[in-house]
Amino acid sequence: MFEDSYPPRVVPVLVPMPAPGPYSYAVPEGMIVMPGSIVRVPLGPRQVAGIVWDGEGGDVNPKKLRPITQVFQCPPVPEEMRRFVDWVAAYTLSRPGMVARMVLRAPEAFEPERAVEGVVRTGLVPEKMTAARKRVLEITENGLSWTRSGLSHASGVSTSVIDGLIAQNVFSRIELQPPPVVAVPDPGYGANALSEDQAAAAETLKAAIDKGGFQSLLIDGVTGSGKTEVYFEAVARALEKGRQVLILLPEIALTQAFLDRFENRFGSRPAEWHSELSPRMRERVWRQVAEGRIRVVAGARSALFLPFEDLGLIIVDEEHDPAYKQEDRVFYNARDMAVVRGHIGRFPVVLASATPSVETRVNAQQGRYQRIELASRFADAALPTLKTIDMRKSPPARGSFLSPALVEAVQDTLARKEQALLFLNRRGYAPLTLCRVCGHRFQCPQCSSWLVEHRFRNQLMCHHCGHHEPSPEACPACGALDHLAPCGPGVERIAEEVVAQFPEARTIILSSDMPGGTKRLRLELDAIAKGEADIVIGTQLVAKGHNFPNMTLVGVVDADLGLANGDPRAAERTFQLLSQVTGRAGRTGKKSVGLLQTYQPEHPVIRSIVSGDRESFYAREIGEREKAMLPPFGRLAGIVVSAETRAEAEGHARQLRRAAPPAPDIAILGPAEAPLAVLAGRHRFRLLVQGEKRSDLQGFIRQLLERAPKERGSLRVHVDIDPQSFL
DNA sequence: GGGGACTCAAAG
DNA sequence: TTTGAGTCCCCG
């Protein structure tokens, strides 16, 4: 008997820390675990949740071996999900435990939800009948069970009436399943009438679902072409087949309108998953997704790591959106990992965008993704007429930033009682402050970029690293008072100009850093949709999928901004942003106009925006990328190592060049160029490492990380996805 | 002598 | 990633 338990059974367990692989734990006698089981294990001085992994427990010093404390009573993490974790870890050069940590992000969800106490009729009748008791009995005639409070509410009696009936055995207490977070969606609830284009596209998607197996599809349709309705049909079909569905959205916290549309189509809301969920809700959603009780989740990128019981479709809406990139700890692009997830789970993945990323277009061109085009706007929604305003010929008055032509257009719009949107992708009041006496420029002490003045907060802020300081009264270099000059506009400064020009108009600024946070922004967006504002001044936030039905003028204050900042994706980003923002106009068929203030009206990006010729943009950009060997072409431009100082970056670069041939191409970039990834925290320099094969680069980076353990913390590796090395 | 800030190694 | 231990420094 004693012998039976020796040697103890040992299993690998993935624990939430950056160890190179799973740790081994002993399984106490009588405990039943299987791969995927979520367990509580001792780890150093604490207890953590981990996932029993596949294979044998590695050989460890038996003295170190400790037993699993407990197996949680929740569904094991499915095989598909475990392969996905392994794949993501290998691809992103992160430790599997850190990826597993993303799966286990709902610590209280591993224990079953507490059952709710309910009551049900026993069949007995009360000795004495009263009016209140009669009402209760009528309502419960059908024999269904009720919660105590629910029943008291429904029958309009106090709970003590029900307690009395329980005491007389007219009702008995039962345990009810905890209530679902959301009702089950009904695929046949509110099917929309589709245009011919839309119907054809929907058929293609449904065929992919019927066929089964992995496939990635791209819905490529101009803004307003009704992509959402199209992929809703795919969602409906997957639901009919009994599969779960994940809809990924960038920044779901702001997309309340999406949830309404879903509800109109399916009769109930999808479950939400994003960082602003309350811990309680997070637990319930996680648990119910694992149990298969939730059929559709609409979530931010982290929803990709929910333990779906039977996922059968992923939609990635606005697939080009940079918000899909996670750039800390585990670096990944949720759009690409969604494709991988679908491949592992053998189901279709649908990407949707009006302005697909160049990578995705290349994938479509090469036949990896099936492209479905929606060329026209839906129903009466007409695309706005777009024009440039040449700022060399029609300059703004001195000290202002809006050209007379744009001011006039705003005036006309107000006169027609319609709304105008002025777009400038720059937060704050002025991007640079300088001293007119000595020429001093305010710079960030941490990362040497310019400090942006924010008048509302009365602060100078670094948009790079978050450093901020109070706005100064005097120049710190020469001490001169009243000679600090703001240079260039931010949205706050445009708002100042607008208020001066149109004092009677109702003006709203929409910028992610306005006080009040997400909640306030949501209210503001609602207010605008209801017509409670005349002029909206906004940063890129306004480009994102909000519907402003009465918006007939979009003015782009600086269409050139972002075209020349050294980022290899600058042209693409600008094209996407300007297409999306001008697409905000004319959603309900009113004649609408987009005006782009520019100093370079002949610039190819500006021209393709104005002419509406998307294809010329993609053709040209794909060609440029190919020439420059940038993503998604040629040599993988995929790995970025950030370091704190240039010397350190050079050290890393030397090491990499010394590493076994073929040595990769390495570029060292300062904060100003900063392409491909946001500089995180204190990291000021980055090496961009290019190589022939992903596996070579992975080798280099591993070596680098191993040889430079002292630099841990000052060294960050970022993987920029190379879509051609997938799968 | 104790507390705070910091670095380091270890966790099965 | 988290933790505890060790070290240094400062302080009536």
Q: Each residue of A239-281: pLDDT tens digit?
A: 999 999 999 999 876 678 899 999 999 999 999 999 889 999 9
Say what the pLDDT of residue A681 is: 39
Strand B atom within 7 Å of A23 CB: yes
State the helix-helix crossing angle for A517-529 and A256-266, rounded to 10 degrees.
Answer: 60
Determine the Cα–Cα distance for residues A182 and A176; give it in Å rounded to an integer. Answer: 16
Residue A171 CB in 7 A reach of strand B? no
Cβ-based contacts (< 7 Å) between A 58-97 and strand B: 58, 60, 64-66
Residue A140's pLDDT is what?
86
Q: Are A638 and A630 in contact (CB under 8 A)?
A: no
Between the CA atoms of A138, A142, A147 and A152, what dihedral angle is there, to the nearest 10 degrees? Answer: -10
Q: Which residue has the tokens 């108009």?
A: A505
Taking CA atoms, A205 is separated from A165, A362, A561, in Å, by: 55, 20, 38
> Is residue A332 a contact partner of residue A302, using CB atoms and an 8 Å limit?
no
Residue with tokens 């309350």: A278
The secondary structure element, H or E, covering residue A497 is: helix A491-501
CB within 8 A of A108, min separation 6: which ones?
A279, A283
The pLDDT of residue A716 is: 53
Beta bridge partners of A87: none
Nearest to A555 by CA among A598, A523, A514: A598
Query: Which two three-digit tokens encode residue A18?
Result: 């950056």
Q: Which nucleotide is nearest to A95 (CA to C1')?
A: C1
Distance between the alpha carbon (CA) of A684 and the C1' atom of B4, Å = 29
A10 touches strand B (CB under 7 A): no
Nucleotide nearest to A44 (CA to C1'): B11
- Gap between the Cα atoms of A565 and A674, Å rounded: 9
Q: Is the CB of A713 under 7 A from strand B?
A: no
Task: Please identify every stretch of chain A with a pLDDT value under 70, giving residue numbers as ranges.
Answer: 1-8, 253-254, 327, 378-381, 445-449, 464-466, 545, 565-568, 628-653, 655-727
Residues in binding site of A for Zn(2+): 435, 438, 444, 447, 462, 465, 475, 478
* DSSP labels, A600-622: -TT-HHHHHHHHT-HHHHHHHHH
So what's the pLDDT on residue A627?
78
User: How is residue A162 written in tokens?
Assistant: 């029900």
Contacts of A481 (CB under 8 A, 6+ apart): A473, A474
Q: Is residue A662 reached through a cis peptide bond, with omega within 30 degrees of 0 on the bond before it?
A: yes
Give the helix/strand (H/E) hosting A208. helix A196-211
CA A111 → C1' C10, Å? 48
The helix, strand and coil proportions of chain A, stated in percent and rounded to the nearest 5, come to 35, 25, 45
Q: Which residue is nearest to nucleotide C4 (CA to C1')?
A: A45
For residue A605, the model assigns a pLDDT of 96
- The reply to whether A44 has its C-beta less than 7 Å from any atom of strand B is yes
Residue A480 contacts strand B, CB under 7 A: no
Q: How far is the CA of A100 from the C1' of C1 (A)?
A: 13
Cα(A173)–Cα(A344) distance, rounded to whole angstroms? Answer: 45
Nearest nucleotide (C1') to alpha carbon of A48? C2
Centre a 10 Å sphere on the Cβ of residue A2 and count the other Cβ atoms it contains: 5
- Check residue A180 and give its pLDDT: 92
- Rounded distance between C-alpha atoms, residue A574 and residue A580, angstroms: 10
Strands A271-273 and A9-14: unpaired
